[in-house]
Amino acid sequence: MNDILPDVTGTWRYLESIVQEIVESYGYSEIRLPLMEHTELFKRSIGEVTDIVEKEMYTFPDRNGESLTLRPEATAGLVRAGMTNGLFHNQKQKLWTSGPMFRYEKPQQGRYRQFYQFDVEAVGYSGPDVDAELIIMSARMWQRLAISKISLQINSLGTPAVRERYRAELVEYFSGVKNQLDEDSIRRLEQNPLRILDSKNPDMQAIVDAAPIMLDYLDEESAAHFAGLRALLEAAGVTYTVNPRLVRGLDYYSHTVFEWVTDALGSQGAVCSGGRYDGLVEKLGGRATPAIGWAMGIERLVALYEVSGGEAPTSDADVYIAAVGEGTLERAFSLAEELRDSITGIRIETNLGGGSFKSQMKRADKSGAAVALILGEQELADGCVGFKAMRSTEEQISVAFDQLAETLKKKLN
Ligand code: ATP
Ligand code: MG
């Protein structure tokens, strides 16, 4: 679990604000959710035989003996919230949420135990149109952030019936080569054979590569859905590859699954992953409701933005006010407030802790401020400040209090 320190929070906030702005521009609204839920919710939604539920959850009894779990992902809680609050009764919802998720994983570069996700979910929409829109929306993010080292993989898992049939084929195939399976895969063979396709064990690759392919089993409805998605992506100019081995780690997916991957971040290549989960609301006790969503890892977005040469917006001060002498601090404070009133977003540091003129100017320099305003007893008496452009060789000038906002506005942009 990491501390996100001030030297990077500017980048985080910048990226989060861009992503928010983009999803809002598609008509999505924010929902804020609890960090923990009943353990049962995750077991039922994510599935008992998944990495998350088997070994990654932070689960504990509360004082009442109820089993609670720190959320490992956002979809389950969002669906629970929608059901609890009646958001899905005869209405569609386009929602986004963000915040920390918790998984007891082996920590490594790009993989943490508390990490942050930005999450988008469209509930009540069944067609491939919304699938396409969600993907187009994520493509817009990369474009806006000038991130190019990323590519899209898509696949279809079909309807639950298709998946059931395919599952039987897989069990038959893997049973035939059982003596070559690793321990994990043997365990999954009975419970969750699709997850064998997801195996990261290089010794398993040949066996996995020769396994039957899901897309060959799609029924008419599933094939039409997938073809619809592909056509819309192509029309929108979003390039993709079909990866028939993309199954995604969670049980609840059906039809479309997709992942934006990069090879610019070493082994943690998944940046934004999503899929359709038409059965989840019903599985949690609601009326059958189609839905789809994606989640993006913010740490990975930040890392990818940085390796793509993205610049963090500076958090340096614009103005540093030095105040030396009797009565100057009071005026420095009121001057700073007046400037904040008249120049939206201006970042002003007023010298704190006193000090000589020289030491205050040193701090002004260190603050990164573009302009230092110098207020001594003489200036106070004359109704002006010394105005020094810190990052240039320009001579210091004198500016009257009532001209200050105008002069600064010109100087700062
Ligand atoms: P991975 O294959 O890397 O384990 P995942 O399939 O478990 O990813 P999801 O559950 O789909 O990931 O989560 C969505 C996104 O959240 C991922 O694409 C990734 O960017 C990010 N993510 C997942 N787990 C972590 C983690 N432990 N630390 C940082 N980011 C993570
Ligand atoms: Mg994982």
Residue with CA closest to ligand 1 atom 21: 297
The identity of residue 91, as a single letter, is Q
CA 260 to ligand 1: nearest atom: 18
Please answer whether residues 36 and 69 qualify as being in contact, where contact means their C-beta atoms are separated by less than 8 angstroms. yes
pLDDT at 249: 65
CA 269 to ligand 1: nearest atom: 3
> 275: which strand partners?
257, 293
Instruction: Give the ligand at the shortest distance from the Cα of 293.
Output: 1
3 state SS of 47: coil
Query: What b/e readout covers 230-263, taking b as 16+ CB neighbours within 10 angstroms?
Result: bebbeeeebebeeeeebbbbbbbbbbbbbbbbbe
Ligand 1 centre and the CA of 273: distance in Å? Answer: 8
Alpha-carbon dihedral angle through residues 276, 200, 187, 180, given to the nearest 10 degrees: 130
Instruction: Give the ligand at the shortest distance from the Cα of 268.
Output: 1
Query: What b/e readout covers 35-62, taking b as 16+ CB neighbours within 10 angstroms?
Result: ebbebebbbbbbbeebbbbeebbbeeee
CA-nearest of 339, 341, 327 to 369 is: 339
3 state SS of 175: helix
Measure Cα distances from 288 to 51, 63, 230 in Å. Answer: 26, 35, 25
- Which residue matches tokens 């969503």? 293
Ligand 1: which of 97, 102, 115 to mutate, judged by most atoms within 8 Å of the beta carbon? 115
Alpha carbon distance 211, 218 (integer Å):
16
pLDDT at 200: 82
CA-nearest of 28, 241, 238 to 119 is: 28
- SS3 for 117-155 is EEEEEEECCCCHHHHHHHHHHHHHHHHHCCCCCCEEEEE
pLDDT at 329: 97
pLDDT at 286: 93
Please answer whether residues 152 and 330 qualify as being in contact, where contact means their C-beta atoms are separated by less than 8 angstroms. no
Ligand 2 centre and the CA of 310: distance in Å? Answer: 26
Checking DSSP bridges between strand 93-102 and strand 29-30, what pairing results, if any? Answer: parallel
Residues with CB under 6 A from ligand 1: 73, 103, 105, 111-112, 115, 117, 249, 268, 270-273, 295-297, 299-300
- Which residue matches tokens 């474009």? 143
Residue with CA closest to ligand 1 atom 12: 273
Residue with CA closest to ligand 1 atom 25: 111
Instruction: Give the ligand at the shortest distance from the Cα of 73.
Output: 1
Alpha carbon distance 407, 387 (integer Å):
9
Ligand 2 centre and the CA of 276: distance in Å? Answer: 18
Low-confidence ranges of the chain (pLDDT < 70): 249-250
Instruction: Give the ligand at the shortest distance from the Cα of 46.
Output: 1
pLDDT at 267: 84
Residue 210's contacts (CB-CB under 8 Å, 6 or more residues apart) are none
Query: What b/e readout covers 308-326, taking b as 16+ CB neighbours within 10 angstroms?
Result: bebebeeeebbbbbbbbee
Measure Cα distances from 197 to 108, 265, 271, 277 in Å. Answer: 23, 23, 20, 19
> Which residue segments constitute the domains of the chain, with CATH numbers given?
6-158+218-307 (3.30.930.10), 319-412 (3.40.50.800)
CA 113 to ligand 1: nearest atom: 27
